[in-house]
Amino acid sequence: MNSEHYPILINGELVNTDKVIKVINPSTEEVFASCSKATEKHLDEAVKAAQKAQKIWGESDIAIRQKLLNEIAEKISENSENLARLLTLEQGKPLDFARGEIEFAVMFCKYFASQKLKNKSLKEDASSIVELHRKPLGVVAAIAPWNFPLLIAVYKTAPALLAGNALILKPAPTTPLSTCMFGQIIREIIPKGLVNILTDENELGPMITSHPGINKISFTGSTETGKKVAESGGPSLKRLTLELGGNDAAIVLEDAVPSKIAEDIFNSAMANTGQVCAAIKRLYVHHSVYEEMCSALKDQADKAIIGDGFKQGINFGPLQNKKQYEKVINLIKEAKEKGKVISGGEFSENPGFFIPITIIRDIEDGISLVDEEQFGPVLPIIKYSELEEVIEKANGSSYGLGGSVWGEDIDFATQIAKRLQAGSVWVNQHAAIGPDIPLSGAKESGIGVEWGEEGLNEFSQIQVVNVKK
């Protein structure tokens, strides 16, 4: 780690400001570092620098852009251990999982470095030639959340740059440091002003989304905040990509074998201490295998080890911040009155935002834990008998990010999965993702696409060139 204080990045310069943000380690609840805090003045300076840089970058050859992304990936790799340790300090995840996040960031960066924006010939005849071209949008603002702060920052930066845009990158107020370090390690290799990193305590959000010099917002976060982003950007008709919340349902069919799938379901629900937008949030299990499924998941939860991410053998860290910690505790307290806790459910008074892995059975729709996105290490298990009824319940949410179906008859399970109202559905797995697989939410889980060719295209403007012969 370079220091205990991290500057912001504007126009290629590391800038220390008059105000600072104190960053808390969620495992100890103690301040361990700080970063500079940006103001509206800094935002205006960053946008001006980005506009200037983009005019040149937008005319650059695709090979130059690809080369830069590969160089960024190399810089991340060279600094992977420092980045991972800082990520564990500010986010709380176990160090091995933080290392995995860095590896994923490198993978996403290299994937987009291998891509190209694809122009198309739409028509050519005796009278005309019609072509579809993709042009840069200009300045893109990328707003990242606190669950995967570095990965999300990188997987927004890479396609934005490949498409010829400049970038304003704003991390979450509780996890700004790994993004600040990212800025430090790439500033020597990127053109001045092409990537700017601004930190805040949520004051800058409305200024960014309404700024006349910003052409697109790429936002990952809660549905509630996403609606505000859309409203703020509406008057200027900014291009939007909103990757929002989820309340993913998983359906276990009557032919499923719980002993075969329990570990995968558990990991799909509890990864990153449940702080994954596309995690399994509610599990519907056929009555014929309900008891066995509950027992198998209890076994998985009982052996999970929660603690400080720097300690050996830790499987799960704390929740990232106090607000989320208190929300999940309240959800569990309400659910305990309606259902039966078979693992976890108790809370310690010790420092740190730790919640034990909690499994609650004999619970129904209509309870907050089932109806809302918990974003924490607790899973409700709901019994069902009729397939049509459970499909209706799975689709009854205002969310539609992902869903999964689990069973031995893969063809039948696939038919059921296709009936789920979600942007991504999986069979006998959940949240199986990659940079080459588009991610798009249905309903209130988002607008637009991340990743893959479709996600890259989101960072470009279509221009149709129609030539009369």
List the CATH number of the domain containing 59: 3.40.605.10
Do both 387 and 460 map to the same domain? no
Longest Cα–Cα distance of the chain, Å, equals 79
Do both 208 and 296 map to the same domain? no
Catalytic residue among 277, 444, 450, 458: 277
For the question of residue 35 being annotated catalytic, the response is: no
Please indicate, yes or no, if residue 322 is contained in any of the structural domains.
Answer: yes
CA 2/CA 4 separation, integer angstroms: 7
Do both 240 and 366 map to the same domain? no
List the CATH number of the domain containing 333: 3.40.309.10
Do both 226 and 326 map to the same domain? no
Please indicate, yes or no, if residue 439 is contained in any of the structural domains.
Answer: no
Q: How many separate domains does the chain show? A: 2
Do both 73 and 128 map to the same domain? yes
For the question of residue 180 being annotated catalytic, the response is: no
Do both 262 and 409 map to the same domain? yes
Please indicate, yes or no, if residue 440 is contained in any of the structural domains.
Answer: no
Do both 134 and 260 map to the same domain? no
Per-residue pLDDT of the chain (469 residues; tens, 9 = 90+): 445 999 999 999 999 999 999 999 999 999 999 999 999 999 999 999 999 999 999 999 999 999 999 999 999 999 999 999 999 999 999 999 999 999 999 999 999 999 999 899 999 999 999 999 999 999 999 999 999 999 999 999 999 999 999 999 999 999 999 999 999 999 999 999 999 999 999 999 999 999 999 999 999 999 999 999 999 999 999 999 999 999 999 999 999 999 999 999 999 999 999 999 999 999 999 999 999 999 999 999 999 999 999 999 999 999 999 999 999 999 999 999 999 999 999 998 899 999 999 999 999 999 999 999 999 999 999 999 999 999 999 999 999 999 999 999 999 999 999 999 999 999 999 999 999 999 999 999 999 999 999 999 999 999 999 999 9
**Which range of residues forms the domain containing residue 352?**
248-434
Please indicate, yes or no, if residue 316 is contained in any of the structural domains.
Answer: yes
Do both 108 and 65 map to the same domain? yes
pTM for the model: 0.97
Do both 66 and 212 map to the same domain? yes
Please indicate, yes or no, if residue 154 is contained in any of the structural domains.
Answer: yes
- Closest Cα partner for 454 from 115, 98, 66, 73? 115
Please indicate, yes or no, if residue 236 is contained in any of the structural domains.
Answer: yes
Q: With helix as H, strand as E and coil as C, how does 46-99 read? A: HHHHHHHHHHHHCCCCHHHHHHHHHHHHHHHHHCHHHHHHHHHHHHCCCHHHHH
Do both 51 and 156 map to the same domain? yes
Catalytic residue among 243, 373, 444, 450: 243
What amino acid occupies position 125?
Answer: D
Do both 226 and 301 map to the same domain? no
Do both 252 and 237 map to the same domain? no
Q: What are phi and psi of 369, to 5 degrees?
A: -60, -30
Please indicate, yes or no, if residue 101 is contained in any of the structural domains.
Answer: yes
Residues 6+ away with beta carbon under 8 Å from 350: none
